[in-house]
Amino acid sequence: MQVAGIGRTGGDVGMIEVPEPRPLEDDEVLIRVKAAGVANWDEIVRTGGWDVGRGPPMALGVEAAGTVAAVGGAVTEWAAGDEVMTHPLPLREQGTWAPMLIAPAALLAPKPEDVSWEAAAVFPVPALTAEQVLSEPLDVRSGDRLLVHGGGGVTGGLVVRLAALRGAEVFATAGPASRERVKSLGARQVIDYHDEDWPERLLALTGRPGVSAAVNAVPGGAVDAVRAVADGGSLATITSDPPPAERAIKVSSAYVRPDGGQLSTLARLLADGQLEVSVTITYGLDDAAAALASVVGGHARGAVALAP
């Protein structure tokens, strides 16, 4: 089977030959991939920074949408032809940048009927990340004042929207081109993060002492975000670069966890139009290297997908 991946850790992305999918275990499904997501975390996998359960030679990719082609002997909740999306870690065989994918049945969620394959493919990881960072380290509730640093990105935008749906008062940073979109997601105020003094501007807007909680979605940005958090508040970063703790602020790093049930709940919000993702461009599988380069280089304004 021809897949887009790497032959060695840190190697260039290209088309490589891997074995055809093996016979399914009882708890597995075989998915015919219609689209797969491409994001910065794929670069982390490529360079060996994220253990996804197997190593090269391998297809990259950790999220996808497609149709069920076959099911294992103990699988009753899915059948051939079902349209699904998944974040299938740890990988059973190959990543999602492949024509066919083996995944645990428990990690699948129904693809909403009116959502494109590309949008469904890029949804699982950022949506799960957003929900989990709000639920677990921060426990954001109605009335909380929350900062989302990096609200213009795919994951940051979902954090803004999910927090607003919880009833939080959301403040966000974003570039000028994203300002109105982030406001439409539910942010009360959107501040340009290009301004080096944006934390002071936020404190002026919120009134000191600052927000009760913050999510950092900007690489290297947590050290700035923590300045806008009130003493004794909380900050969670999804970029693996937590700042030193100060002023009794609880600092944590949030890492996405596969969860089929949680993804199904989020998929219902996507189906209802309460959540959305914007796919900027879709590449063919043989252009995966260019797709990843566009993401890592910061050239993509929205999500990027591959279509095998």
pLDDT band at 303 (very low <50, low <70, confident <90, very high): very high
Identify the bridge partners of residue 100 per DSSP, sorted by sequence position: 32
Quote the pLDDT of residue 9: 97
The whole-number pLDDT of residue 142 equals: 97
Q: Answer yes or no: is pLDDT of 30 > 80.
A: yes
Q: Is the pLDDT of residue 246 over 90?
A: no
- What is the structure's pLDDT at 206? 84
Query: Going from the N-terminus, what domains does the chain have, and what CATH number goes with each?
Result: 2-125+258-307 (3.90.180.10), 137-253 (3.40.50.720)
Asked if residue 299 has pLDDT above 80, the reply is no
* Tens digits of residue pLDDT in 204-232: 988 778 999 999 999 999 999 999 999 99
* pLDDT per position as a tens digit, 132-151: 999 999 999 999 999 999 99
Residue pLDDT, tens place only, 47-67: 999 999 999 999 999 999 999
Supply the pLDDT for residue 286.
97
What tens digit of pLDDT does each residue of 92-141 get? 999 999 999 999 999 999 999 999 999 999 999 999 999 999 999 999 99
